[in-house]
Amino acid sequence: MRNRPLIKTLAIAGVTALAVGMAGAPSHAKSEAGSSGQGFIADEFTYGFFYGTFDQATNVALFAGGRIEEFCIGVGEPGTAPLRVFPRKSDAVDLKVNAKHQPIHLYYTAANDIPTWLDNEVCPGIASDEEPPVPFASGVADLKVRITVVSADRQEVFNSVSGKATGTDGTTYKVRGTADLVVEGGVPLGDPKEFVGFKLTEIRR
């Protein structure tokens, strides 16, 4: 299985290439004028985000964009959403996503490191025809993404999902996951415990 960074916020190399390429407005992209008059380029954003708790006896993992088994297929980015790309005079590029009704799934896991759990247990098990983990709750959320591509080697990244999920036992949860970090050379800087936020609240049963 391929190696993933400590926290998968996006496929950095792919997003950087997209931003650089779209700054030149390729023929397949659609240029539009934003509400403020600022021009942007419209395209599609593919993603696969996850967030979770740390250091608990049983951790909770939130997967946004698809079910856990879909993260083991292809590039592991099952979600899609409309993307707006804003080239700046400074040569930086801003990528923005604001989409509703994105799929989310909640899982229990004994692992404290989601990428390692995926690479060493979940994905190899699925490849060996084992049944994938079953989410204890599923629902939809609002997705927000803001990425500033400062250069090919540096990106400033923020993403969040906020929504509700219903458990297999009928319990409803309010859930929010966030990541706010800097990526250099394709590697997130810092400890995921510092730049990943996660909150799960039971709202009724």
pLDDT value of residue 60? 94
Answer whether residue 116 is part of any domain. yes
Answer whether residue 155 is part of any domain. yes
pLDDT value of residue 5? 37
Answer whether residue 164 is part of any domain. yes
Answer whether residue 4 is part of any domain. no
pLDDT value of residue 153? 87
pLDDT value of residue 141? 98
Residue 6 pLDDT > 80: no
Strand residues in the chain grouped as ranges (E):
30-33, 39-47, 49-52, 59-64, 79-87, 93-109, 137-151, 154-167, 172-184, 187-188, 196-204
Q: Counting beta carbons within 10 angstroms of the beta carbon of residue 156, is it exposed (0 to 12), middle (13 to 18) or buried (19 or more)? A: middle
What tens digit of pLDDT does each residue of 88-99 get? 888 889 999 999
Residue 2 pLDDT > 90: no
Tally of domains in the chain: 1
79 in Cβ contact with 48 (< 8 Å):
yes
40 in Cβ contact with 163 (< 8 Å):
no
Residue 190 pLDDT > 80: yes
Answer whether residue 2 is part of any domain. no
Answer whether residue 3 is part of any domain. no
State the Cα–Cα distance between residues 23 and 9, nearest whole angstrom.
22
Answer whether residue 7 is part of any domain. no
What tens digit of pLDDT does each residue of 111-152 get? 888 888 999 999 999 999 999 999 999 999 999 999 999 988
- Residue 97: which domain range? 12-204
Answer whether residue 5 is part of any domain. no
pLDDT value of residue 32? 55
